[in-house]
Structure 1
Amino acid sequence: MASDVASLEPSADDDVKKNADEQIDKAKDETVPEQTEATTADDAAKNAAQSEAEEKKVSVMEAHGYLLGTILGTGSYATVKMAFSSRHKCKVAVKIVSKKKSPTSYVHKFLPREIDAVRILRHPNIICFLQSIETTNRVYLIMEVADGGDVLKAIRDSKHIEEPDAGRWFGQVLGAVDYCHKRGVVHRDLKCENLLLDRAKNIKITDFGFARVFDPKEAMEPSSTFCGSYPYAPPEILRGIAYHPPSADVWSMGVILFTMVFGRLPFDDHNHRTLIKQVMAGPVFPARHAYQLKASTELRDLLVKILKPMPARPGLDSIRQDTWFAKHCAGSVVVKQSKDGTSLMEVLKEDESPAVESEDAFSEF
């Protein structure tokens, strides 16, 4: 038993081995802090270099000479921001469309149509398109800024628009729409919200998301794409009948004119069946307010003429011959903005063509 107990006690050799192990561990402990400090210094240098690189990193818009500013408006899948163009030395608007948030039909059908339409249009009463930039996740549309609100806001602020002012705006709209049709573009979503105003209160038609491009030298085929807003849609669209897009634009113009002067929409869109009956019967003029009662007979006659089902609806040339139009709209001119309010339209060269670019290199955006 004694030998068995002795075998469990530490020997001299064990003490030597233990001391050696302790010295090795001590040596390891002394070297670890030096390695940790070196590693920490390397990581700090890498982090500093990465931070510096991120600070110098140029965004998509900065690379193209645009400095983004405040948000002008937001939608379901797009945001519009103010920006400054270093090249043109003026403010521009940037519509940022998210591909991830947008419906596939919009990204692959309506957005390309919008770009195809606006890039061929240059008119003082149409928002001037400058450039589109496409990345992996977004599409940027750079356009003219119209920072005077829109016609709908103007109506709400004043309750209605006096006939002389409504005539000036209607004349500008007709001139711009006529220009579009002659260039082979139909808007198909004309409404008060899509009529922006610049600082001098000139009309600027915007939002060509439902636009269609056609050959103006040939007769346009009827369309079965029923788009736009119910309150501004003609009877043929509401009834689901193939329609003539230019004539649909004319109807929408009539709704806009009615809304400006009478301070309300001509037709109630809360019930679809009721709406169809109303548009087929023609407008009923309200008489609740004094300004509604004083609307001229000539204006009412023009509205009755425009807001008719096809084929009785007049064309733009026929509207130009109307008595009320000749009195209030024929002399419609674009008022120049002040120097401080110089627009993109005023600084662009006549021979400068809008650009469409794909920037797949900026895939992180």
Structure 2
Amino acid sequence: MTDFVDGWILGHTLGEGAYGEVKLVINKATEEAVAMKMVDLSKHPDARRTVRKETTIHRMLSNPNIIQYFGQRSEKNMEYIFLEYASGGELFDKIEPDIGMPKWEAQKYFRQLISAVEYLHSRGVAHRDLKPENLLLDENDNLKVSDFGLATVYRLQGKERSLDTRCGTLPYVAPEVLERPYQAEPADIWSSGIILVALLAGELPWDQASAECPEYEAWKNGKYMSVTPWKKLDKFSLSLIKHILVHEPSRRFKISEIKKHAWFRDNFSEDGNPIERDVVDGLRAKRFHKDEEEVLMRTCLSQPELPGKETNGLSTFTIEERPGFSFSQPAHMEDLLLSTQLQTLAYTQTQTQTSLSTFQKMVRRMTRFFVKTECDTTVKRLISCLKKESYTYRINECGIITISSMDRRKMPLVFKINIHEMDGKILVDFRLSKGCGLEFKRRFLKIKEKVDDIIARDSSNHRQVS
């Protein structure tokens, strides 16, 4: 870790995306933390407009289930966006591949997701890239929607427009988005329904919602009950999903209807049986201040789809061309962080190390483990495993192993292995760079199984490690 500005330390990478990295930034005195998204404009000259649009939208939002925006700093060739740090990690990390999670837990996260989406729509904002990789968890295990890089304003001052940008991540994209134009709200609701399937079944139902996909055609024609993931789900769960994943947007459940459905309304106990409890209400939207409306009108409606490729007069964004950033604890510190005169703090080396060790333990993720072997031996075992699995990999000068592969859908899957010493032990930390989170989790579990003999049993549990 290195000093970023006086009194602040630049920590490890939290996530990556097409335009740069997201880093952890820690205050040495208070141990408060934020996520800092770094965009290198010299490498990505088209990113400036995207950043401007993303921050314009994000600063208008304030909801407990949406990552909080603190501010930004601009330099000659760099843009820094400061966001709430979600110390609970990514939601996809809690989904067991091909299994999912308990129904009561899926219900909890789905309720929070719907609350966030309802709030966004009340503000006239469409997210357009909802997926587990863009859903984070705070220290209290509450869901936080992140990554507004593809978000847009579709309703302002009572006027609503249709959208025509083909964007998102294919398995989560509504069928009408592939054809265009489309309405914003049903498209986000569709993506939420796919997320619910992933939570309950641990897999995605299809590669894309189009006639070219046999799995989707079977679903659309009602010939799906004997195949996975549907045969894993009980009739109660399916009764809600069948109302959300409806091909025609006009017939698809609205959020108000989702919230009235018994699966959403009645709480589940840990044994999977419903128990009575009040329905979870969405949050009422705040009104825009007049000058905020004017800013959004100029930024979003004059530049409705950024960045894009012109195709037949339409601005389009290639599906999966832009991998989502993973932002990952509340720190109400925008005035401190964005101040040009941050106070210099006199801290001893010992105190600083203690502080940083605390933060290294904060991020809770399952895709990491301690090992009993030394660093060199650990690297050799991992490389041997990667060779046997015919992975393409490379090691950089910092010792980070980058693995490139293809997932089940023949889409790129890239993840990294960081090996470093922490509290006198060797930590092996896997992190997704690009691709499907569930597929990444499958690969991690397979690699972990092959190096099982070197894992330190007393600390391999992710809740202890993290």
The correspondence for 1:172, drawn from 112, 136, 140, is 112
Mapped pair 1:95 → 2:33: no
Question: Superposition pairs for residues 337-348 of structure 1, below 5 Å?
Answer: 343-344=329-330, 347=332
Match of 1:62 in 2: 5
Counterpart residue type for residue 81 of structure 1 = K
- State the aligned residue count: 281
Mapped pair 1:199 → 2:139: yes
Question: Superposition pairs for residues 1-365 of structure 1, below 5 Å?
Answer: 61-62=4-5, 66-85=8-27, 90-102=32-44, 104=46, 106-108=47-49, 110-156=50-96, 159-239=99-179, 241-269=180-208, 273-274=212-213, 277=217, 280-281=220-221, 284=224, 293=231, 295-308=233-246, 309-328=248-267, 343-344=329-330, 347=332
* Deviation of 1:218 (Å): 1.5
CA distance in 1, matches of 2:100, 2:140: 19
CA distance in 1, matches of 2:30, 2:160: 38
Counterpart residue type for residue 20 of structure 2 = A
In structure 2, the residue corresponding to 1:156 is in which secondary structure? coil
* Deviation of 1:213 (Å): 2.1
CA distance in 2, matches of 1:141, 1:114: 10
* Deviation of 1:176 (Å): 0.8
Identity fraction in percent: 31
CA distance in 1, matches of 2:254, 2:19: 35
CA distance in 2, matches of 1:114, 1:286: 43
Distance 1:307 1:270, change over 3 A: closer
Distance 1:356 1:112, change over 3 A: farther
Distance 1:320 1:79, change over 3 A: same
Counterpart residue type for residue 153 of structure 1 = D
Distance 1:285 1:83, change over 3 A: farther
CA distance in 2, matches of 1:251, 1:116: 25
Q: Is the 8 A contact 1:129 1:354 kept in 2?
A: no
Measured against aligned partners, the alpha-carbon deviations of 1:226-267 in whole angstroms (never above 9, x if no partner) come to 11111111111122x200111110000000001110111111
* Deviation of 1:66 (Å): 3.8
Distance 1:118 1:327, change over 3 A: same
In structure 2, the residue corresponding to 1:72 is in which secondary structure? strand
CA distance in 1, matches of 2:202, 2:141: 18
In structure 2, the residue corresponding to 1:131 is in which secondary structure? strand
Q: Whose strand fraction is larger, Structure 1's or Structure 2's?
A: 2
Counterpart residue type for residue 321 of structure 1 = K
Q: Is the 8 A contact 2:264 2:279 kept in 1?
A: no
Q: Is the 8 A contact 2:73 2:80 kept in 1?
A: yes
* Deviation of 1:319 (Å): 0.9
Structure with max Cα Rg: 1
Q: Is the 8 A contact 2:114 2:255 kept in 1?
A: yes
CA distance in 1, matches of 2:35, 2:63: 17
Q: Is the 8 A contact 2:98 2:201 kept in 1?
A: no
Q: Is the 8 A contact 1:266 1:284 kept in 2?
A: no
Distance 1:163 1:215, change over 3 A: same
Counterpart residue type for residue 163 of structure 1 = K
Q: Is the 8 A contact 2:155 2:161 kept in 1?
A: no
Q: Is the 8 A contact 1:267 1:279 kept in 2?
A: no
Counterpart residue type for residue 80 of structure 1 = V
CA distance in 2, matches of 1:278, 1:163: 25
Match of 1:41 in 2: none
* Deviation of 1:198 (Å): 1.8
Distance 1:187 1:116, change over 3 A: same
Q: TM-score if structure 2 supplies the norm length?
A: 0.54
Q: Is the 8 A contact 1:145 1:344 kept in 2?
A: yes
Counterpart residue type for residue 193 of structure 2 = G
Measured against aligned partners, the alpha-carbon deviations of 1:135-170 in whole angstroms (never above 9, x if no partner) come to 111111111111222122211368311111000000
CA distance in 1, matches of 2:71, 2:153: 18
Q: Is the 8 A contact 1:195 1:203 kept in 2?
A: yes
Q: TM-score if structure 1 supplies the norm length?
A: 0.68
Counterpart residue type for residue 233 of structure 1 = V
Ranges in structure 1 where 5+ consecutive residues have no aligned partner:
1-57, 334-342, 359-365
Deviates more, 1:224-233 or 1:275-284: 275-284
Counterpart residue type for residue 242 of structure 2 = V
CA distance in 2, matches of 1:283, 1:169: 29
